[in-house]
């Protein structure tokens, strides 16, 4: 990975440091690839969120209570998220360290058509929570994973993994149709989104993905593991900054936005579906728990809308939006949101017509 603009290996990195260094900027297709730990705007974003929070508290009827509620929810989100972010950071560092780029770039030629579904099912091997999916995705991208595959990875892994499947089965044991809908339907949505991005990639001919090589001197496994461990700390600090902004937003939404107001949108199935998608986006619930939250909506919202909530939730939400801005361009994010919105809505409507 360390290459100067003229392609020569950067000697300073030859001492066995195997990760990306600031030297390797020029070769990358992505913008802003400097290995800055923290985006410079993050502190301002944090400050902005806190200001927003203060504003809401001052406006609310019982300021102290509001403060307590949001703090409690925020703290609970942080505490709950720590293990997952840590795990994700560790995984990302290990991928960075140990997975040769050739495996990733060679995947296309070896798997051919089956590539997308395989990536979609990789959640069984790498069960990563939404919280940590973005840094891992970023690492894979840096290793040369194609955009389409990365997007597939991003939306598939938080949904199609053993933990989520288990919690869905438990929460909806009396509604097998909904369970099937969540995973089969979710899989279909993933394929649709992957398809849309594939089409776009083909249209943008000429922008080749550069295979970024990894500089690998002969270093034993031991030091590399240690290096990965050290790097986990860096990774964690990065991610937790963004995660905390997302958690704060989520806490504010939960405390101040009456969830019940979303339940008024039941005039048409489509409206209910859209309302639940919006709720899923705002609430940013961890994909492990959203089955149970979804369950609690069944009394007030029609099943297809709850399905939309269950499918959209793990794929995209407020928390990840912030993190994604470092990995995808604004246009790519927009395309992602739009395709998800359309695909999930269609799924909901189809489900409604099948099950009625």
Q: In this chain, which of 9, 25, 46, 121 binds another protein, going by CB under 8 A?
A: 46
Could you tell me the smallest distance in angstroms from the CB atom of residue 270 to another protein?
19
Should residue 258 be labelled a site residue for another protein when binding is judged by CB under 8 A? yes
| Straight-line distance from the first to the last Cα atom of the chain, in angstroms, rounded to the nearest whole number | 55
Alpha helices in 284-316 (DSSP H): 290-297, 303-315
The answer to whether 81 and 247 are in contact (CB under 8 A) is yes
CA distance 77 to 194: 30
Q: Using CB under 8 A, which of the segments 146-154, 186-194, 287-295, 317-325 binds another protein? A: 287-295
CA-to-CA dists, residue 48 to 3, 72, 247, 248, angstroms = 38, 20, 14, 11
Q: Does 175 bind another protein (CB under 8 A)?
A: yes
Nearer to another protein, 122 or 287 (CB): 287
Q: Which of 1, 57, 86, 147 binds another protein (CB under 8 A)?
A: 86
Binding residue for another protein, selected from 241, 313, 314, 348, defined by CB under 8 A: 241
C-beta of 202: minimal distance to another protein in Å? Answer: 36
Residue 263 is a binding residue for another protein (CB under 8 A):
yes
State in angstroms the smallest separation of the CB of 94 from another protein: 14
Minimum distance from residue 124 beta carbon to another protein (Å): 20
Tokens 């705007």, residue located: 41
Cα(95)–Cα(89) distance, integer angstroms = 10
Element (H, E) at 77: helix 63-98
Residues 6+ apart with CB under 8 A from 40: none
Closest CA to 305 of 257, 247, 264: 264
Q: Which stretch binds another protein (CB under 8 A): 65-73, 145-153, 208-216, 267-275?
A: 65-73
Q: Judged by CB, which is closer to another protein: 153, or 243?
A: 243
């Amino acid at each position: 990975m360390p290459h100067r603009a003229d392609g020569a290996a950067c000697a300073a990195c030859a001492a066995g440091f195997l990760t990306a260094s600031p030297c390797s900027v020029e070769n990358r297709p992505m913008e802003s690839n400097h290995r800055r730990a923290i985006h410079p705007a993050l502190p301002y974003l944090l400050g902005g969120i806190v200001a927003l929070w203060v504003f809401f508290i001052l406006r609310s009827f019982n300021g102290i209570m509001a403060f307590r509620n949001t703090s409690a929810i925020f703290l609970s989100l942080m505490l709950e998220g720590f293990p997952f972010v840590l795990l994700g950071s560790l995984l990302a560092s290990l991928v960075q360290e140990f997975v040769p780029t050739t495996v990733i770039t060679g995947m296309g030629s070896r798997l051919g058509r089956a590539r997308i579904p395989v990536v979609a099912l990789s959640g069984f091997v790498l069960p990563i929570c939404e919280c940590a999916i973005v840094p891992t995705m970023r690492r894979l991208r840096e290793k040369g994973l194609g955009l389409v595959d990365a997007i597939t990875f991003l939306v598939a892994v938080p949904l199609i993994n053993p933990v989520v499947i288990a919690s869905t089965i438990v929460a909806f044991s009396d509604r097998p149709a909904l369970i099937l809908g969540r995973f089969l339907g979710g899989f279909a949505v993933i394929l649709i989104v992957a398809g849309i991005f594939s089409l776009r990639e083909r249209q943008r001919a000429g922008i080749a993905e550069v295979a970024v090589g990894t500089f690998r001197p002969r270093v034993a496994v031991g030091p590399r593991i240690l290096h990965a461990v050290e790097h986990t700390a860096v990774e964690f600090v990065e991610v937790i900054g963004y995660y905390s902004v997302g958690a704060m937003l989520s806490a504010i939404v939960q405390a101040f936005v009456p969830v019940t107001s979303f339940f008024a949108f039941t005039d048409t199935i489509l409206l209910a579906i859209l309302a639940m998608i919006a709720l899923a986006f705002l609430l940013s619930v961890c994909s492990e728990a959203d089955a149970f939250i979804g369950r609690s909506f069944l009394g007030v919202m029609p099943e297809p809308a709850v399905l939309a909530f269950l499918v959209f939730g793990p794929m995209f939400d407020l928390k990840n939006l912030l993190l994604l801005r470092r990995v995808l361009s604004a246009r790519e994010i927009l395309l992602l949101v739009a395709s998800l919105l359309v695909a999930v809505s269609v799924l909901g409507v189809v489900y409604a017509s099948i099950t009625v």
